[in-house]
Homo-oligomer: A and B are copies of this chain.
Amino acid sequence: MSALTEMLRSHPQKPTTHFDAIARCIEACFECEQICVTCADACLAEEQVGMLRECIRLNLDCADLCGATGRLISRQARPEPALWRATLEACAQACRSCAEECAKHQDRHEHCRICKESCERCERACRDALQQMPSGGAESRH
């Protein structure tokens, strides 16, 4: 059991119905943030940096969204369903945009291939977490 999973299990108000999907999503978000930050820096170090401008931008966008989303869903005590949905949607979109751009460069740059795969994992994890959110949750909270 990772330190993160152990941590989430010790939370006094952890979610009961979709704990695993959320735990995976948090791990995927923080991993993707870190990998996107590194991919941006690796792109900056490539000789043909001029062809990687858009990749660097989307790396940075994706890193910021993943970081904010990972933090938000780590605060699991009383999730605000409408906010979780909008945030997970935005994060999935950031991962999608970044993965598509990285895919264009993956044959030439190994770091873009690794980053694309991390973005795809994170997009899937966000969509899984979205699907497992209790339906009608927005109402049931109040």
Contact = CB atoms under 8 A, between A and B. Distances in A.
A133 interface: no
A69 to B, nearest CB: 8
B34 A76 contact: no
Given A6-B114, A41-B57, A114-B7, A97 B80 contact: yes
Contacts of A64: 67-68, 71-72
Interface in A50-69: 50, 53-54, 56-58, 60-61, 63-65, 67-68
B114 A10 contact: yes
B39 A7 contact: yes
Task: Kindly name the residue among A7, A56, A70 whose own CB sees the greatest number of chain B CB atoms within 10 A.
Answer: A7
A87 to B, nearest CB: 5
Interface string A1-43: 0011011101111000000000000100011011101111110
A118 B117 CA distance: 28
